[in-house]
Structure formats: C-alpha cells, structure tokens
Amino acid sequence: MKVLLSWLREFAPDIDGSPEDLAEILSDLGLAVEELSHVGQGLEGIVVAEVLATRPHPDADRIHLVDVDAGDGEALQVCCGAFNMAVGDRVPLAVVGTTMPNGMEIARRKMRGEWSNGMLCSGAEIGMGDDHEGILILEQGLSLGVPLAEALGIHPDVLFDLEVNPNRPDAMSVMGVARDLAARLGVPFSVAAPKVDDTGQTAAERASVSIAAPDLCGRFGVRVLDNVPSGASPRWMANRLLAVGQRPINAVVDLSNYVMFELGQPNHTYDLDLVPGGELGVRMARSGEQMTTLDGVERTLTEADGVIVNRDDEAVGLAGVMGGASTEISADTRSVLLEAAWWDPMTIARTARRLGLRSEASSRFERGADPDIIPMALDRFAELAAALGSTAALGMVDAAGNRPESITVRVRPERVNSILGTELNAEEMTALLKPIGFNSDSEGDGQDFDVTIPSWRLDSATEIDVIEEVGRLHGFSQITRTVPVTEQAGALTSRQQDRRRIQALLTGMGISEAMPLPFLAPGDLARAGLGDDGITVTNPLVAEESIMRTSLRPGLLKAVTYNAARRTTGVSLFEIGRVNPGGGGDLPDEIEHLAVILAGQKATAATALWRRLARNLAVTNPGVVNGPVDGLHPGRSGRVMVDGQPVGALGEIDPQVLDAYEIGERVAWLEVNLGALLDADRGLAPYRAPSRYPSSDIDLAFTVPDEESSDEVSATIAQAGGELLASVALFDVFRSDQLGEGRRSLAFTLRFEASDRTLNDAEVAAARQSCIEAVTTTHNATLRG
C-alpha cells in the first residue's frame, strides 16, 4: 500500500515532521514502511521532448539512437535502451548537466562511438510509477522544452510504501493511514463530506438491486451517473495514481481507483445501457457457471463464488474480485451504474485464491471493508466526476443483506495493564483509543468500560483486540522491559544430550555432518535398493520434492556422488534426521535415524564405528548379525542389534546401487533407529578397581568355518574364560589354501587376571584349555599350531 504525504495531509493537514521520522512512526504503529521515496523532486533538468526519428545504433543491438526536439527545433541525438517510443511521442528528456533523483549525473558521452546528449527517462527513474522498462510516454499537447514538473503539475512529495497486515482493513486506504498517523501525532483528523448536486430522476427509478445471497452481500449501494467523461482524468489525479503505482487509464477507471485508494472502498462501474432495466442481483454462482471477467478470461465458477447478475440472471460480475466484460465501460458510455458493496471476507478470499485472482478490490474485501463508508464512496466518486462534467441521479439505491453487526467490547483496565505490562489508567486508555474511532463510555472512574468497535475495524471483536490497539497507540517501544524469572533449571533432555554426544563422537572421528534435503524424487528409493516409495507430498512444486524419505540412505548416497563428481572421494558423512517408513496413527510414523556413510571404506569400518558408538552410549548389549539387507552388498551386510532386537543395518552399499549412483569406490554404511538405540538398556557396568596383580596374556588361533561369526567365537571365549578372563580381542584374520575353502583363521588375544592374587601357570592353563574346548566344540573349529 503506497501513500503520498500530500494525500495524507488532506485528512490531517497538521501532519508534520521529517519524512524519516514519519516513517519511523508509521512502522511503530504497525504500518511497516518498506520504502520511503521522495517523488517529484530533482526533476529540474528534465524537460518535455518530442521524438523526431529513431534509428539503429550502428554498433550495438541493445540501444538505439533517438533524435528528439527539446523545444529549440534542433534534432538532439540520444542513445536509448528502450524501444517503446514512436515518432511524434512526447517523452521526458534529462538534459546534459542534470542530476537525476537517484544521484546519477547526465553528461554528454559517447556510447559505442555514438554521442548521447542526455537521457530519456522511464517512469520509475523520475518517481512516476513502477515502470523501469520503457520510456514514459507523455500525453500529446505538452509544450516542448517545458520542465516536466511544470508541464505535468508535479509537486515534490513523499511516498511511503507500507506493508499492511491482514488485520488492518482500515490501513488499505489513505484515509485510514492518516487516521492512525494523526492519532499518534495528536493532530486533528477529519473527513470532508463530499458535495453532490444530484438531481432529476432518482437512482431508484433507474436502477434496482436484489440480494438473493444476504450472507455474501451485506450491503450493495448504487448511484447512477450521466454524462460521464470519456477522456483522460485530470492531471493531478493521474499523477497521484501514477505515484502510488496505478497506471492511469481513463477518467472513469481512474476515478474508481482514486476513490478506492482514498477511502478503501472498492467500487465498480457498469455501462448502464448494457444492464437491461438497470437491474442487478446478487446470488451465489452455480457449479460450472461461466463468465468472462474484465481481463477477458472466461472463468468457471463454483457454488462458493458470488456473482452479480443482470435481469436475465446472467453473471455480469464476480463478486468482490473482478467485474465482467459484458458491461464494461467504453468510449461510448454515457451513463454508468456505480456499485459500492460489502462482501463477506471469507468468500472473497476463497474465490480470489481459487482463481489466482488477487485484485486491489479482493485484497480489501477479504480483510473486511467498511460497510458504513459505502454512501460516502459513492458520493466521493460523484463529486469528483462532477468536476469533469458528470451529473448524478438523485440519491442512491441502498440494498441490504446481512451486514456485520456493530460490536461493543467490555474492557478491564486491569487486564490491559496486565497483558501489556503498562500502568495506564482508564482515561489514558480511552484517550488512546478515541482518535482511531474506538469510542468508549468510560466515566473516568477507572472502572471497566465498553468500547464500540468502529465499522472499519471488522478484525476487532474481543477485549484482546482492544488491548492490542491500546498497546499499538501507546507504542510498544514505550513499554518497560522486564525479564521473567523462572525457578525451572534450563536443561536439555537426555535425548538432546545424547544427540550432541553422538555428534561429538562422530565429528571427533573425522566424520562431517551432512544435511540432504528430506524430499526424494519418485524412484529414488528404488535406485538405492530400498523398495517402494514412501509417503507422497500432495502438492510439490517439483517432482524431486514429492516423496518423503523412508531412509537416510538416498540423501547421503547423493552427497557422496556429488563430491565424487567434484573429484573428492573417500568422504565420510553422517546425518541425524527423521524418516517416514509408512504406517502410523493420527499422523504418519516419524522416526529419527542416524546414518553414517564411509566412502572408500569396507563394511567392517561400519562395524567398528557401530561398536565405538555403542560403547560411547554405554549400550549394554550391542551386537551385529550377518545377513542380507536390501540395498546392501549381500555378502557384506548385517543387522545392528541391541538386546537381541534389530535397530538398524550396516555393511557395504550394494555394487549395483553404487553403479546407479555413479560411485566408483566401496562405501560402508550404518543406519540405526536412534530412538530404539537410545531407549535400549544402557548404563555402565558396576565399577571394579583395576587389579594390583600382574595379568597373563595368551594368544589362541582357530580355524573356523566362514558361517561362524568372529563375534560368536569371541562370545564363546568370554563365557568359557569366566571370571578370570579380563578381555578378549580379535587381532588377526587370514585365509589360505592350507586352511581350505570356507574356513579362515581367527586369532585372539586373551588377558587373564584376578583382583586378589597373581594367577599361577596352572590356573591360566586350565582357563586356556576350557576356552579351546568351548570354541572347538561350539563352532566346529580347530586350534591352530
């Protein structure tokens, strides 16, 4: 929403202060100033010129040469990057020596070998509209050589571009912004009643409105205007519209826009001759009903849309969003039906959204327009039109539907202060509220009071809404800042601490944290060997973001591919993230996974990592069971176990998957269900003082069949070794022809010790022997050497 300072001052002439200060105040009122610009200034060196001829630049495609006459009859050559002008057009010329509003100096200079004696200006360059592309084409008839500001009647002004929140329907108008600003500044605000000399037949004799959808249309006001102007609107009006970003079209359209910007009431003009009998009606559309809107697009409607219809029940307007093409004003129009209505905000919002048709009108109606402003909007239009020779039929047609009721809110001063942290008394509160139209009955006794919500603030309906207004007008910056004190000790949950522990362990091992997108493309899971696609996104913008992941594997594989393609192999990455494996209750199951990818490493690197992780987290009973896992190398994969239950998988990525991802190295993989892992039985074993007595180490090597896992052999040794066995560790594995197919040698170091004595040779020998017997009998193994 763009507003001009001069326009604001028509409602509050005493608004004063530097533009920068006013911008601060507007922001502090909740009307954030996105841009503050000075318009109509620095135009001293810009004059009206006529295009005499255009011709290509001999040495450049993007600029051409334009000869202009700047009033002295001489052809002045200018290089220009815009091509939208024709011979005979009036255009703004910045003459040599001019400093543009943006500070640029215009000098005579050569562009690719051709002289440019000045610059032709776009609207944006001189603060007249948003158009940066083309040169501003001025109206014919302007005298050549005259300063542009003089020719167009432009005065220096300040333009505020405001961001208006959805709860501020009032601020979608110059009047509403002026009301807020005047209230904060403590200066008078008033709205002059438009003067209309209406005459002759009454509007009611020439037009009628029937409302068949009263919940949609709260009020429908109509004036009938004759002798409407067919040409351009007056220059001052066109200048204002241009400044606020609305391109002038013709007098009737410009008047309509002007009234909307000024008072916030969208309005629409119908060519009266195209509305049989001047009869209009309002109803909900029928499913599949079609109409062509002003933009020439045929719209298919639903029962949720509102329409304005003619006597024959044909839709001639899409309620609150856009008028229809069939009754559009043309150069031949002499009389118009002027409509100003109040529409149900939700209906308008839905229709505008469904059709992708956010118009200036719909953005006001969906916030909630002011039903009481309708007569004034009609009158203001008539008043401005009268200055252009138009006449108005007597009175207006004022049809009523179910308009929003006036609301009165009980306000407790104590509550206001309790929410805001202020110490205002009731009088101070009502004094803040009154200038923005929130009138109250406070008796000045500090008691609760009733506030009547103004018709332009349909967003407000409860005490908290009024409290917000008190706070807003008082100024959030005026409120004393305090920090609440809690007796609660701040802390992370054990899960959050565990995550950090894991992150610290893995980064300490040289593994960096990756952050792949959590979305997948169709087929990504299959490509990673993971079977069917997971939960789908209903409305993705691109197919690559249409599937929720069931595993962290596709994302990390992609990361390895990405780095390999940039000549970095052997990357180690991890991710902690949520996956949706399918299933669930009210919501899909959402499970937190930890995955580690070790490019260039073999499967046992993943096992080693898993063991460190388990030890780090003090998992009581971790394990690994060899066996095939989808998408992993069938001979190099297994399940990650805790307490005998699988909580994940590890191994090497299936070579076929590696091919699909164009990865040329072995890739070790570990993925665990973090919740299951962290919720498992965990905790350190009871403390045992280190023995003061020497320990004895022995090595044992067995020939063991391949299907017997080293872990199982190790466990057998641990059990057989009993109390005296302090540790057992695999230290060598080898295969050879002598050992034969399907068998390998596993060599373990065993350390025996007792806490109360030095073990004698016989004790160690006995323990050794029971370990050997246990392994050879349990695992079909033979002792070597």
Residues 508-567 touching another protein, rule: CB under 8 A, are 508-519, 535-542, 545, 548, 558-559, 562-563, 566
Q: How far is CA 544 from CA 318, 548, 651, 742, 763, in A?
A: 37, 10, 28, 45, 66
Integer Cα distance of 527 and 662 in angstroms: 11
Q: Is 494 in the site for another protein (CB under 8 A)?
A: no
The only residue of 166, 389, 675, 722 in contact with another protein, by rule CB under 8 A: 166
The only residue of 86, 331, 587, 685 in contact with another protein, by rule CB under 8 A: 587
Given the DSSP bridges, would you call strands 645-653 and 632-642 parallel, antiparallel or unpaired?
antiparallel
Give the phi and the psi of residue 629 in degrees, each rounded to 5. Answer: -135, 135
Q: Residue 575 pairs with which residues in a beta bridge?
A: 595
CB closer to another protein, 51 vs 349: 349
Subset of 262-301 contacting another protein (CB under 8 A): none
Integer Cα distance of 715 and 365 in angstroms: 76
CB of 564 to another protein, least distance (A): 10
CB of 167 to another protein, least distance (A): 4
What is the total count of residues that contact another protein (CB under 8 A)? Answer: 88
Integer Cα distance of 155 and 101 in angstroms: 14
Kindly report the number of other CB atoms within 10 A of residue 409's CB atom.
19
Cα-atom radius of gyration of the chain, to the nearest Å? Answer: 40
CB of 343 to another protein, least distance (A): 13
**∠ CA 365-368-370, rounded to 5°:** 100
Which range touches another protein (CB under 8 A), out of 12-20, 182-190, 468-476, 746-754? 468-476
CB of 25 to another protein, least distance (A): 11
CB closer to another protein, 491 vs 685: 491
The only residue of 190, 210, 447, 462 in contact with another protein, by rule CB under 8 A: 462
Integer Cα distance of 269 and 696 in angstroms: 103
CA torsion sign for 575, 581, 583, 586 is positive
The one-letter amino acid at 39: V
φ/ψ region of 541 (left if φ > 0, alpha if ψ in -120 to 50, else beta) reads alpha
Q: Which one-letter DSSP state was computed for residue 327?
A: G
The only residue of 115, 236, 476, 731 in contact with another protein, by rule CB under 8 A: 476
Q: Is 345 in the site for another protein (CB under 8 A)?
A: yes
3-state class (DSSP) for residue 269? strand
CB closer to another protein, 445 vs 487: 487
**Structural contact between residues 209 and 222, judged by C-beta atoms closer than 8 angstroms:** yes
Subset of 110-139 contacting another protein (CB under 8 A): none
**Residues ≥6 apart with Cβ < 8 Å to 732:** 701, 745, 746, 747
Given the DSSP bridges, would you call strands 268-271 and 645-653 parallel, antiparallel or unpaired?
unpaired
CB closer to another protein, 484 vs 644: 484
Which range touches another protein (CB under 8 A), out of 13-21, 349-357, 638-646, 724-732? 349-357
Build a one-symbol-per-residue string for 9-48: x at contacts with another protein by CB under 8 A, - elsewhere. Answer: ------------------xxxx-x----------------
Reported as type and span, the H/E element at residue 575 is: strand 572-579
Cite the DSSP H helix spans in 116-249.
148-152, 174-185, 203-206, 235-243
Q: Is 439 in the site for another protein (CB under 8 A)?
A: no
The only residue of 158, 315, 337, 349 in contact with another protein, by rule CB under 8 A: 349
CB closer to another protein, 561 vs 749: 561
Q: Which residue has the tokens 């910007």?
A: 261
Give the phi and the psi of residue 264 in degrees, each rounded to 5. Answer: 80, 10
Give the phi and the psi of residue 643 in degrees, each rounded to 5. Answer: 55, 35
Subset of 695-724 contacting another protein (CB under 8 A): none
CB of 732 to another protein, least distance (A): 22
Q: Is 326 in the site for another protein (CB under 8 A)?
A: no
Q: Is 408 in the site for another protein (CB under 8 A)?
A: no
Tokens standing for 65?
């040469």
DSSP assignments along 671-709, one per residue: EEEHHHHHHSSB-PPPP-PPPSSPPEEEEEEEEEETTS-
CB closer to another protein, 398 vs 459: 459
Integer Cα distance of 578 and 391 in angstroms: 69
Subset of 168-207 contacting another protein (CB under 8 A): 168
Q: Which residue has the tokens 């912004």?
A: 177
CB closer to another protein, 283 vs 472: 472
CB closer to another protein, 262 vs 524: 524
Kindly report the number of other CB atoms within 10 A of residue 38's CB atom.
14
CB closer to another protein, 282 vs 597: 597
CB closer to another protein, 121 vs 183: 183
CB of 320 to another protein, least distance (A): 12
The only residue of 464, 625, 729, 765 in contact with another protein, by rule CB under 8 A: 464
CB of 452 to another protein, least distance (A): 19
The only residue of 18, 58, 405, 480 in contact with another protein, by rule CB under 8 A: 480
Build a one-symbol-per-residue string for 354-393: x at contacts with another protein by CB under 8 A, - elsewhere. Answer: ------------xx--------------------------
CB of 525 to another protein, least distance (A): 16
Subset of 742-771 contacting another protein (CB under 8 A): none
CB closer to another protein, 476 vs 734: 476
